[in-house]
Amino acid sequence: MIKKLGLILTGLLLVLATGCEGIIEEEPENAENNRLEESYSEENNHAAETIGLTEPDLESNIPLEKAINQRASRREYQDTAIKKSEVAQLLWSASGKQVDGVSGATRVAPSAGATHPMEMYLAAGKVEGLETGVYRYLIQEHSLEQVSREDIREELAEAALGQNFIAQAPVSVIIVAHHERTTNRYGERGERYVHMEAGNISQNLYLQAETLNLATVAVGAFEDNLVAKLLQEEGEPLLIMPVGEPN
């Protein structure tokens, strides 16, 4: 009996010593994670103006199964503006907070250890009720922070190796990673978790676009440093997702 008790205690000590390094399950958001995001917002306060967004719609006329079946990568867009409310819905679906999240996970896309390494940017060219410019999505407030008033769509397309459909789309959502938020906890393996999260977010955007009768495509071929410069960002851009009405 004493020997068995000793083995149990040894096992418990090993668990305490190793911590959670092998766990990738999502955890509830905590005060530390919120402080990191708030600190990032203060350090990157490019412009004082913030623009509120409409609350996300939790119902759609398109069933999930139909959206999954219809999802496709589309690179042709009409030369028409999209609605500000559609922008709000897209950004929320990418990395927004669950409307009724009280306990447990409070983001719409899973994140390893709730480390939330992503920042969402909007390159707006033609949006009803929103002036042209570059915006950062403020997740906690569900609002936009204006980074610049420049229409960077042409430069964004050039940085993406001349993929001109990016310039033709009224907006692009750019997913930017701060790997250290995840690797500080999980080490080198955290790189993999960050890329998994980018995939989760991009699929959310694809499906949300379908429910809004909009078109999008995930673009990964671009010059990282040029895109980061356009966004005035220190993180690593992972994906550009142009969005517009299908042609």
Distance CA 152, CA 230 (A): 7
pLDDT in tens, 139-166: 999 999 999 999 999 999 999 999 999 9
First-to-last C-alpha distance (Å) of the chain:
74
What pLDDT, on a 0 to 100 scale, did the predictor assign at position 22? 41
Which residues, listed in sequence order, are joined to residue 242 by a DSSP beta bridge?
172
What pLDDT, on a 0 to 100 scale, did the predictor assign at position 106? 83
Nearest to 96 by CA among 166, 29, 185: 29
Over range 178-191, report the average pLDDT. 98
Nearest to 231 by CA among 186, 180, 175: 175
Span of 55-59, 100-104, 123-127, 160-164 with lowest mean pLDDT: 100-104
Place of tokens 């030369």: 79
Q: Which CATH class is domain 26-244?
A: alpha beta
User: Where in the chain are the domains?
Assistant: 26-244
Q: Is the pLDDT of residue 24 over 50?
A: no
